[in-house]
Chain A
Amino acid sequence: MAAVAARRWLRFRCKVCLTLTGQRAGPCGQVPNCRFYSGSATVPKVEGPNVTGIEEVVIPKKKTWDKVAVLQALASTVNRDTTAAPYAFQDDPYLIPTSSLESRSFLLAKKSGENAAKYIINSHPKYFQKDIAEPHIPCLMPEYFEPQIEDVSEAALRERIKLKKVKASVDMFDQLLQAGTTVSLETSNSLLDLLCYYGDKEPSTDYHFQQSEKSEELEEAAEENNEKSKKANHQFGNLWRPKNNAERIFALMPEKNSHSYCTMIRGMVKHRALVQALNLYTELLNNRLHADVYTFNALIEATALSAREKPEDKWNNILELLKQMAAQKVKPNLQTFNTILKCLRRFHAFGKMPALQTFREMKAIGIEPSLATYHYLIQLFYYHENHSKGSSLIIYDIMNELTGRKFSPRDPDDDMFFQSAMRVCSFLRDLELAYQVHGLLNTGDNWKFIGPDHRRNFYYSKFFSLLCLMEQIDVTLKWYKDLIPSVFFPRSQTLIDLLQALDVANRLEVIPQIWKDSKEYGHTFHNDLKEEILMLMARDQHPPELQVAFADCAADIKSTYESQDGRQAAPEWPANSLNSIAVLFLRAGRTQEAWKMLGLFKKHNKIPGNKLLNEFMDSAKASSSPAQAIEIVKLAGAFSLPICEDLARRVMANFAISQEQKEALGNLTSLTSDSDSDSDTSEDK
C-alpha cells in the first residue's frame, strides 16, 4: 500500500516538476524514495550545479501505469481468508455454499442468471438501447447476432460466416453459385473453416460454464472400455457425416489451395472421420500442395486413433508422418508433440519408450514442454495404479525439472497436470513429493492451473488424505484449518481419513469438532462417517469431561438419525450406531437416555451387543438398582442372547434382590437356555 501511495505521489510530483524549470528537479531528487532508482550505471545523470555526492534523481516526464496496475498491487496484498468461503461464494449468508454440491449449484445459478440476462438483452436489443454509461460500456449493450446485409452478395456471405451462422452461410453460398457469382477463394476457405470446425452443425450458444465437465473422464473411460465410437459420439457431439455441406462445397470449389485441404483434414479429424482425413491427405500430396503443422497434428491424431492396427504399426505411421514433416520443412510445435504423447497413452506399456524419445526430441529441438506434456507422461507411466512394484520413478525427474518454474497456458490440457501429479504422489505415498507438487502449485500464478472445481477437489482430497496418512497430527490439523473450507469442501472419505489419523495419534478429543464441521459441509446424513465417529468415540473409556462432550456429540448424531426418519420412509439405524450411542450416554451418566436407546433396539429390531449389556449392568450396579439389572437380563432374554445367563449370574451375585425377582430371573435363564422364545417372556412381563 505504501509503495503504491509513494508511486502515485511521485507521479503527481513529476507533473508539478514539469511545469518548473530543469533546475528545480534537483531538490525533488533528494526525496528518500531512492529505492525506485538505485544507482545503476545506466541511469544518465543530469548535469547541474547542485549535484552533491548524492545520486541525482531524474524525474521521468510521465510515468504511465497500466490501467490495472494499482488494482493488481492492491489485490496482491489480499490473502486468502482461511476461515471463510472463497471470495466467489460470498453472498447473502443464507446462500453461501457449505458443500461441494452447493458450491457447484451456486456457481451454476450465478452463471445461468447472467446468461439469462444476456439472452434477454440479445434477443430484444431494441428495448436496451438507452446508454446511460459515460464513458460508454460496450459489454453492457446488446449484441447483434442477426445478419444485416440482406442482398445476395459475397459481403453478405462473409457477414454470415463471421456471425457463425452455419446454415445461413451455406444457403448464401448456394444462392451465389446459382446466381453465377464466383466466390473468392478466401471467402470459400473461411466458409470451409466454419463448416469444418463445427462439423456442419450450428455452433451451440457460447455460454459455456467452466468447460464441458466430464469430457476427459469420459474419454479415459472410453479408452478403458474400448467403446470408443459410442462415447466419442457423446463427447464430440456430432460426427462427420459423409456428403455433408463441407464436402459438397469443397468439391464445388473451382480452385483449392492448401488451406482448403488443411481445414478439411482438420475438420474430419475433429469430427472423427479418420479414414477420410488420411485419404484427403494423400489427395493433397497428389496435388503437390503442402500441409501446415496443425494439419500434421490432426493427422497424427487420426493415425493414433484409427482402429484395428497394432500399436507398433501406429507408431511407425506416426514416425512416417513426422519424417514427412521434416522433409516438407514444416516446423513442429508444442501441439505436435503433445498430440503424440497424448496418443501414446493409448498404447500403454508399448508407449513408454516412444514417449521418452518424443520428449527428448522435443527438448533437443528446443520446444519447451508445457504442463500438459508432463501430464501425458505421468498418465502413461502411472497408468496402472495397483502396480506398486517397480513403478516408474519418472515423476521425480519431472518434479526436479519443474520446481520453481512459472507457467503460462500453452495447451488446453495444461490444467490437468497438478491433478495427475498429486494422484501419483498419493499412490506412491510420498509426502515429500506431494509437498513439492504443492509448492509448485503455489509458485507464482501456477495455482491458476489447478483446473475447474472437480479437479481442484480431487487434488486437495488426495493431498489431504496423504497428509492424514503420513504427516504428524498437529501439522495435519494445521492443514485442515488452512484448507477447509476456504479452498475446498471435504468429501466424507476425506473426513474419515482425518478421523483415522486422529485415532492413530490418539487425539480423539477433536472428534466433536470434526462432527460439527462435517455437519457444516453437508455430511449430516452420511452413515459411514457417522458410524466411524461413533465407533471411535465409544471404543475406549475416556476421562469424564471428554465423555460428556462425546455424549453431547452422540446426542447430536442421534438427532440426525431421528430427523432422517421424517425425511425418508425407511429409516436405517445401524446396530453399531445404536450400541455406540447407548454406551456413550451410559459413560456420560445420562442413564435415562441410554435406557431410551435400549427401547430403540427393540423398535428397530436390532440386537444390542454384549459389551453394551455389560456396561448397562455396570451402571445398574453403580446406581444399585436391582430393578434395572433385572430389566437388562429380561432384555437379553427377549433377544435370546447367550449372554443372558452370565448377566443373570451377575445379578444374583451383585445385587440384593427379592425372592420374587430371583424367581423371575430363574425363569428367564431357564427359558432362554431352553431357547424357548418370546411368547413366554412376554407373558412374564
Chain B
Amino acid sequence: MVCAPSWVCVLAMFPRVSVILPLHPLCHFPLCSGGSEAAIVLLSAPHGTVRTKNNVQRNFGTISVNYSKKDEQSAPTHGISKEAESQESVKENTKKDLLDIIKGMKIELSTVNVQTTKPSSRRQGKSVEATIGSLQKTLEDAPKKRTKSVSPELEAAASAVADFLHFDKQTSKSELLRQLQQHEEVSKAQKDGERTKISVSNIISDMKVAKSATGRVSTRPVHQIQFDKGTDSFMGQKTDDLKKSLRKNMLKGKRLNIFDLKTVTEEAPETETAPSLWEVEFAKQLAMVNEQPLQNGFAEMIQWTKEGKLWEFPVNNEAGFDDDGSEFHEHVFLDKHLKDFPKQGPIRHFMELVTCGLSKNPYLSVKQKIEHIEWFRNYFNEKQDILKESGIRLN
C-alpha cells in the first residue's frame, strides 16, 4: 500500500473550491479541463489570501501553546496521563523523555547495529542498483525515449522554455528534462528506500536525545523546601502530644557541612559526551523500576504504539511519514518560493508547472522540493545571458 500524505488529497479537493475562489489576476491561462493546467490555476489562485492567513497563523501558533496548558488542567484525570505530568516541570520532562527513549532503546538499540550494517546496505544497494539500472536503460535508449518517464505536459513546457532560448535549443531542453527525470528518480528511490530511512533515522534521533539528558543533576534552592510543622491530626490527642514530645524533627539539626549550596547548584558547562555503558545500563535499570504489568487494553495499545507495532493515533494515511514536522500546506503551496522568478512569461509558466508537479509528489520532503526549485533558479541565472539575448527578462 502506498501511503500518500493527506495533503495530496487536499489537492484533489481543490477543483471544487476553484469555482468559488476568484481567479488570480496573474493567471492568464485558460482553464483546461484536465491535469496540471487546472491545478496550476488553483494553486496560484489563493495568492491573495495567503498573506492574510500568515498573520492569523502566527496567532494560532501562540495560542496552541496556551491550549496545551489549558488542556492539562482541564483534563479530568490529571496525573494518570503521563504527558500532563511530564510537562509540569522541565526536569521531569527530560527524565521522562529519557525513560521513554530508553524503553524504546531496549528494543531498538540492537536494531541500530543491524539496520546500519547489513540489511540497510543491502537494501540501499538494491535501490541504488535499481536507479543505476534505470539510468543505464535510459542512457542506452534513444534520447527521445529518455523523456518517457517525464509527463508529456512537463516535457511540452520544457521545450517551450527551450524554444525561447534560440541558442542551443536542444541542449537546454535536454538539460531541463534531465533534471526533471532525475527528480523523478530520486522520488522513486526514496519511495523504495523510505523504510530504511525512517527506522534508522528514528533510532538515531532518539539516541541523540538520550545523550543530552543523562547525568543532569536536579537542583533546587533550599528555601523552597517546605517543612511540615507536624500537624498530626491522624493521631489520637494523647499519643499525639506524647509522640510530639518524643520526636526530633528529622529535618532540623546538624548536617555534615561538607558541601556548599553555591558550588553544588552552580551550573557546570555540560560537556556533550556519548553516554557510556554505565550510564546506559543505569538508565535501563531505572526504567525497570516502575515497570508494572499492564492495567488495561488501552495501556497495552499504548505500549504497542511505542514499540511501533500499532498505527499511531489519529489513524490517517500519514503513518510513518515524517518530514521534520512540516505540514501539508508547505508541501502543497510552493508558489511562495517563486517570488524571485519573473511574474509572467514562459519561465514563470514553466516554474508553475514545476511547483504543481512538486506539490503532488508525496515522496520528496519539503526541503528537497525547495532545493529543486532552487536548482532551477540557479540554472536560469546561469543562462542569463542567453535569456537576455532572446529577450526574456529575469528578475
Contact = CB atoms under 8 A, between A and B. Distances in A.
Interface in B285-336: 285-302, 305-309, 311-314, 319-320, 327, 329
A448 B67 CA distance: 29
Interface in A332-368: 332-334, 356-361, 363-368
Interface in B199-228: 199, 203, 217-222, 225, 228
Nearest to B329: A18
B263 A68 contact: no
Interface of A: 3, 7-8, 18-19, 21-22, 25, 35-38, 40, 42-44, 46, 58-63, 65-78, 80, 86-88, 107, 131, 134-145, 148, 159, 162-163, 190, 193-194, 197, 206, 208, 210-211, 259, 263, 266, 294, 319, 322-323, 325-326, 329, 331-334, 356-361, 363-368, 377, 393-394, 396-398, 400-401, 406, 408-412, 414-415, 432-433, 436, 443-445, 447-450
Contacts of A3: 74-76
Contacts of A206: 106
B237 interface: no
Contacts, number: 319
B248 to A, nearest CB: 8
A39 B57 CA distance: 20
Given A43-B66, A60-B60, A134-B1, A400 B243 contact: no
Given A356-B253, A408-B95, A135 B218 contact: no
A322 B259 contact: yes
Interface in B222-260: 222, 225, 228, 230-232, 234-235, 243, 246-247, 249-260
Interface of B: 1, 3, 10, 17, 49, 52-53, 55-57, 59-64, 66-67, 70-71, 74-77, 79-83, 85, 92, 95-96, 99, 106-108, 110-111, 113-115, 117-119, 195, 198-199, 203, 217-222, 225, 228, 230-232, 234-235, 243, 246-247, 249-261, 263-265, 268, 276-278, 281-282, 285-302, 305-309, 311-314, 319-320, 327, 329
Contacts of A73: 75, 77, 81
Nearest to A86: B293
Given A71-B305, A432-B235, A25 B80 contact: no
A230 B313 CA distance: 53
B112 to A, nearest CB: 8
Contacts of A432: 234-235
A68 B306 contact: yes
Q: Which of B53, B243, B297, B313 has the largest count of A CB atoms less than 10 A from its CB?
A: B313
A37 B67 contact: yes
A119 to B, nearest CB: 13
B289 A409 contact: yes
A396 B298 contact: no
A377 B250 CA distance: 10
B81 A37 contact: no
Contacts of B255: 357, 360-361, 364
B85 A444 contact: yes
Given A76-B81, A409-B99, A322 B256 contact: yes
B297 to A, nearest CB: 7
Contacts of A401: 228, 251
Contacts of B258: 319, 322-323, 325-326, 361
A364 B256 CA distance: 10
A467 B98 CA distance: 39
A136 B199 CA distance: 8
